[in-house]
Amino acid sequence: MSNVTSATPAGIDAGRMGLPRVFAGVAVTVLLAELIGAVTVPLGGTYKVVLLPLLWALLIGAAWGLASPRLPALMRFEARTQALAAAALQPALLLFVAKLGLLVGGSLPKILTAGWALVFQEFGHFFGTMVFGLPVALLLGIKREAIGATFSVGREPSLAIIGEKYGMNSAEGRGVLAEYMTGTIFGAVFIAIFAGVITGLGIFDPLALAMGAGVGSGSLMAAASGAIAAQQTADVAKDVAAFAAASNLITTTIGTYFTLFLSLPFTVWAYGVLEPILGRGRATISEELASPAAAGAELVHPQTADVSAIERLSIWIFSALIALVGNYIAYKTVPDTSVLAGTAIIVAAVMVGHLIYLLTKGWVPAVVWVSLVAMALTYPATPFAADIAAATGKINFLALATPLLAFAGLSIAKDMPAFRSLGWRIVVVSLMANAGTFLGATIIAQFFMHKPV
């Protein structure tokens, strides 16, 4: 069965005392990222890409972790502390999910007008990875590893599906592991830049782009939707966040079943058809990818089970407070009583959603319950919905995304040795798959939103 483990208990237990160190690292990272601010890079003519603080947070955190062995002891982030940062990632993500759910609830009538665009764009998410990634993989000489690397964006559910069906020691298992590693290390950076460039072209409706951003990964969605929203007006930016959240919720809830029963069988079939054409006479996958080091690489997954209830609560409170600092620096919103009340509502929505998740014994992911609770709070028919929307609306969703990416950045360095053993070819394929899921969904959403008259 799987060689990919969901936790390293000894390392995490040993690093429990390191949670304040993680908080300190995230605080410094977020502060630096927000002070750098949004940087606009012109691409010629009217085209541009906006590099947001959340991207700086990811890069600063990653650089800090990689440089740790050469830093003074007080500034080092050892592997066990990086593992704790990874474990804190999922609780931090729930705050961002709650904020998006609050936006979705108030915008639900508008979202429903998207109709078939929101439904059918999901096909772009699940088949776009294969359409864009599989031919490239075969041209580069990758064999059955291409199936695992291109049937999805390779997050935790995909690891479970491949591990159960083929085993992680299989070629398919090595492929999905490589996709997971590449997405973890480069995914958010790549999708932020790619989404920004595509948005700058001006050929897609912002809401179609927003639906394309809902790839089923919280960090990737945050990076992509932020890059899209940065090039819109304030009102359109809110709609972008809401539509991205709605798309991401659909992808999260039906994604496991869709990938298991549709995209994986289709990718296996497509491999059988295309491999004799594109792969014939080419070198097989590199020895690096097929090596025992790649096949047996162990990852630490960011799961809420890795932290205790008290630690989880402290992560929520810390992430909310540090987001208020970023909200003040970037958007000049003074954290007064109403802003603090809005923050408390966001944290409360997370707590209630997580409690339902525990009571239902994990029947559906916690992100779904948190989203639904938050959506219910601002749905127009809910009492005091307007007041709740006003209070929580003072906290920009991008301010909550920055701490999330800081946790992710500080956790990256621990996975670099395993990543280096996977080979450069699979990096190219993984990035193509990430581009495909975004672009495929965007194209389909654009078609249904702008039918020929």
* DSSP-assigned letters across all residues of 113-182: TTTHHHHHHHHHHHHHHHHHHHHHHHHTT--THHHHHHSS---HHHHHHHHHHT-TTSHHHHHHHHHHHH
pLDDT computed for residue 15 by the predictor: 43
Closest CA to 193 of 42, 51, 11, 62: 51
Task: Give dist(CA 372, CA 365) in Å, integer.
Answer: 11
Task: Give dist(CA 110, CA 428) in Å, integer.
Answer: 37
Task: Give dist(CA 159, CA 31) in Å, integer.
Answer: 34
pLDDT computed for residue 31 by the predictor: 96
pLDDT computed for residue 315 by the predictor: 94
Domain assignment of residue 147, yes or no:
yes
Domain that holds residue 123: 9-449
pLDDT computed for residue 442 by the predictor: 93
Domain assignment of residue 3, yes or no:
no
**The total number of structural domains that make up the chain:** 1
Q: pLDDT of the chain along its 453 residues, tens only?
A: 334 333 344 334 444 458 899 999 999 999 999 999 988 777 665 556 677 888 899 889 989 988 988 888 888 888 888 888 888 887 888 898 888 889 888 877 877 776 777 778 878 877 888 899 999 999 988 888 889 889 888 765 676 678 767 876 678 877 876 787 777 677 878 888 899 999 988 999 999 999 999 887 777 888 899 889 989 998 899 899 888 888 887 776 666 667 778 888 999 999 999 988 887 554 454 444 444 444 444 433 333 336 788 999 999 999 999 999 999 999 899 999 999 999 999 999 999 999 999 999 878 778 788 888 998 999 999 999 999 999 999 998 889 989 988 988 888 787 777 666 667 888 888 889 889 999 999 999 898 876 543
Count how many Cα atoms sit within 13 Å of the Cα of residue 406 in the half-sphere of its side chain: 28
pLDDT computed for residue 153 by the predictor: 82
Asked whether 227 and 130 are in contact (CB, 8 A), the reply is no
| Torsion-angle region of 48 (φ positive above 0: left; ψ -120 to 50: alpha; else: beta) | beta
Domain assignment of residue 119, yes or no:
yes
Cα of first residue to Cα of last residue in the chain, in angstroms, is: 53
Domain assignment of residue 1, yes or no:
no
Task: Give dist(CA 412, CA 182) in Å, integer.
Answer: 11
Phi, psi angles (nearest 5°) of residue 42: -70, 140
pLDDT computed for residue 302 by the predictor: 36
Sequence-distant (≥ 6) Cβ neighbours of residue 221 within 8 angstroms: 213, 214, 215, 244, 245, 248
Rg (Cα) of the chain, in Å, rounded?
21
Q: 296 is written with which tokens?
A: 């047996």
How many CB atoms lie under 10 A from the CB of residue 9?
10
Closest CA to 108 of 447, 371, 392: 371
Closest CA to 399 of 346, 446, 444: 346
Domain assignment of residue 411, yes or no:
yes
β-bridge mates for residue 41, sequence order: 49
pLDDT computed for residue 9 by the predictor: 41
Task: Give dist(CA 305, CA 152) in Å, integer.
Answer: 24
How many CB atoms lie under 10 A from the CB of residue 307?
21
Task: Give dist(CA 159, CA 151) in Å, integer.
Answer: 11
Burial class from Cβ neighbours inside 10 Å (0-12, 13-18, 19+) for residue 120 reads: middle
Q: 38 is written with which tokens?
A: 């949004």
pLDDT computed for residue 252 by the predictor: 67
User: CA torsion, points 300, 303, 307, 310, in degrees to nearest 10?
Assistant: 160
Task: Give dist(CA 426, CA 189) in Å, integer.
Answer: 17
Domain assignment of residue 391, yes or no:
yes
Q: 128 is written with which tokens?
A: 């776009």
Task: Give dist(CA 184, CA 363) in Å, integer.
Answer: 25
Domain assignment of residue 248, yes or no:
yes
Domain assignment of residue 2, yes or no:
no
